[in-house]
A and B are shown apart, each in its own frame.
Chain A
Amino acid sequence: MICLLTLPPVPLELKSPLSFRTRAQQQQHSHPFSQTLRSHTVPHKTLTGGGTATTTVANVALSEHNDLNAAEEDEPLPAELNEELMPNHVAVIMDGNGRWAKQRGLPTSAGHQAGSRSLRELVEICCKWGIRVLTVFAFSYDNWIRPKVEVDFLMNLFEREIKSQMQKFVSEGIRISVIGDSSKLPQSLQKLISEAEEKTKDNSRFQLIVAASYSGKYDIVQACKSLACKVKDGVIQLEDISESLVEQELETNCTEYPYPDLLIRTSGELRVSNFLLWQLAYTEFFFVKELWPDFGKAEFVEALISFQQRQRRYGARLS
């Protein structure tokens, strides 16, 4: 039994429109540290059904999402959510498959199967609601010590899922990227991943990043090695090594939005467990007690509502 704190609702007087990095601001400055909050008000828009997105603020985000309107009719944004305040990048630690299966007297593999269904649904919702990037922690570098039977099953599951979803990725403009130490994955899976990445590399509507055999610490170590090579080759000086150079070498350099705005972890665990490390510096965390196979649209909406209420200051102070 793990005691989980839910966030108290933020009192109205503490909320300020200036403190939110709106979708428009996030689009224009994907690096949070170069962001200066601008004082402009964006008319809040509540979508109750499909409809043309109109706004008095010209921004790239909304114009790019016009093509989603048709899709939005199938899955409109819930009334409680503000389209302007949607996160660009959501990260998820998909925890709890094993426990879900155990609760039902099923083998662990059944839990992972159920988990992959949850993921497919989340990808669909994210696509439809205009979230640009979803990064999921599918398999940690630390998970290789799990029983071989389970690991083999998971590798097979990844392969099956990529194959079965490939057509959908292509037709829906979804780009797939895989980060992590792929050298440890089975050859057939490595090949499939390369093909999938190549085939979808020009898709720009939505990006699914799958962290497999990934470790946040090792991501930094490999970035460090790259930088060391550059120093050795005289491309940069030792003193040039900076935060932005490190960021450019991390595996999340495959996306325009490397820093998640929101991290969701299911199953009640309150830790990051060596998922994205550098990238989570200013990410809002949302811990959910539901197990991953039970995480659906309702739980996602709850996470988004919580996210939209938060004041993100990045260390500075707003009066």
Chain B
Amino acid sequence: MGPIPNHIAFIMDGNRRYAKKQGMEEGAGHKAGFLALMKILCYCYELGVKYLTVYAFSIENFKRKPEEVQCLMDLMLEKIGELLKEESVVNQYGIRLYFIGNLKLLSEPVRVAAEKAMAATAKNTKTVLLICVAYTSYDEIVHAVQESCKDKRNEIEALYASKVSNGVTEGVEEGENINGTIEHDVQGSCESSLSKSQALNTTRACNGVIRVEKKKGVILHAVQGSCEDKWDEVMSRTSNGVTEGVADSKKKQWMHPTIKLVDIEKNMYMGVAPDPDILIRTSGENRLSNFLLWQTTNCPLYSPSALWPEIGLWHLIWAVLNFQQSHYYFEKKRKQL
């Protein structure tokens, strides 16, 4: 007996095929799929699996027939409402809900319901259910990349603000809060001999408010507001004792600080949970379909041929047993290294 996986992810594939197989109408397949989800949620809770992530609706799925998309949206709205009821399994099991994806792509009622559900269950701590809707890994990664760039930009701005203040001696005039551009004759030893007049030019280039504060006898300049467009110019002019041309110092400044893997990871929608230990895709298909590409790179993919509404406890136990065997093998290998 080995460890229980902390996080299992499911690609819930096969609802429509199930409906066809049972001679039901298409919408009924998705309803059966929801029941299967509740079943799996209970099993996971009983087994002690803390996180459960499911692929409910991909951004690519918006390309389906409008009737099917609408049917799925209506089902989501209906089921979110049910889950929030007092007697629902969510409250019974203390489940925290997350809706992961580009929620802006959802229709207003669904997005509002999702946000309401997340807020209502925010204090639950026993199990976490992450429902990926309007999700693709591509969208998640692009969003994380954009946010990382924004973070770095802000970091550099803050870094500049503190760098300008370093090494400034009593030659500096005291600043005042004024609107519009101001010029400071920054004397004394700045970190770089280049930055003296350049800092001047920088402040001239800025159209926003320059707030000047006095902190511990040192002048701090904070470049705010519409200066964001000029932030890179600002950065290029602040150099760390580097005397090469502005172009080079521009590049060097950008390198410090530089974007790292952790920056991207912390901006992922799925940053609220650890990586899955197991990924299960039903209906026998053996591909990821743009689901959790980043998070599942080291976890096994199991592909039982059962359609999603047919999934049962046996499939879960089988996956957990395989995880335990594989875990034992990797632990052994790790110890050898």
B-contacting residues of A (Cβ < 8 Å)? Answer: 1-3, 5, 7-8, 14, 145-147, 216-218, 220-221, 223-225, 227-229, 231-234, 238-239, 241-243, 246, 269-275, 277-278, 280-287, 310, 314-317
Contact = CB atoms under 8 A, between A and B. Distances in A.
B60 A316 contact: yes
Contacts of A231: 149
B325 A228 contact: no
B284 A8 contact: yes
A282 B149 contact: no
A277 B140 CA distance: 13
A-B complex: 4 closest residue pairs judged by Cβ atoms: A315-B60, A270-B300, A281-B290, A285-B286
Contacts of A14: 17
Interface string B138-153: 1101100110111010
17 contacts: A1-B325, A8-B305, A220-B141, A224-B259, A227-B145, A228-B152, A228-B259, A232-B235, A241-B142, A242-B142, A246-B142, A269-B300, A271-B298, A280-B293, A281-B293, A283-B287, A315-B63
A278 B293 contact: yes
Nearest to A312: B287
Nearest to A14: B17
A27 to B, nearest CB: 21
Interface in B62-119: 63-65, 68
Contacts of B148: 224, 228
Interface residues of B, number: 57
Contact of A225 (B59, B65, B235, B259): B259
Contacts of B181: none
A273 B298 contact: yes
A132 B187 CA distance: 64
B312 to A, nearest CB: 16
B87 to A, nearest CB: 35
A229 B138 CA distance: 20
Given A221-B259, A232-B254, A314-B60, A280 B288 contact: yes
Given A234-B232, A281-B290, A316 B63 contact: yes
A224 B60 CA distance: 23
Contacts of B296: 271-272
B289 interface: yes
B305 A218 contact: no
Contacts of B61: 315-317
Contacts of A145: 337
A315 B303 contact: no
A97 to B, nearest CB: 14
Given A218-B261, A241-B149, A273 B286 contact: no
Contacts of B299: 271
Interface string B165-177: 0000000000000
A195 B152 CA distance: 37
Contacts of A282: 287-290
Given A224-B264, A271-B297, A243 B290 contact: no
A317 B287 contact: no
A224 B301 CA distance: 27
A239 B64 CA distance: 27
B287 A243 contact: no
Contacts of B258: 225
Contacts of B251: 229
Given A8-B305, A229-B254, A315-B61, A277 B294 contact: yes
Contact of B297 (A217, A229, A234): A217
A232 B232 contact: yes
B137 A281 contact: yes
Given A145-B337, A228-B149, A285-B301, A7 B58 contact: no
A221 to B, nearest CB: 5
A315 B284 CA distance: 16
B26 to A, nearest CB: 10
A217 B286 contact: no
B304 A5 contact: yes
A281 B150 CA distance: 26
Nearest to B16: A317
A223 B60 CA distance: 23
B326 interface: yes
A278 B322 CA distance: 27
B260 interface: yes
Contacts of A270: 300-302
Given A224-B259, A225-B259, A273-B298, A7 B254 contact: no
Contacts of B138: 243, 246, 278, 281
A89 B322 CA distance: 31
Contacts of A1: 325
A221 B261 contact: yes
Contacts of A146: 337
A236 to B, nearest CB: 10
B260 A273 contact: no
B141 A246 contact: yes
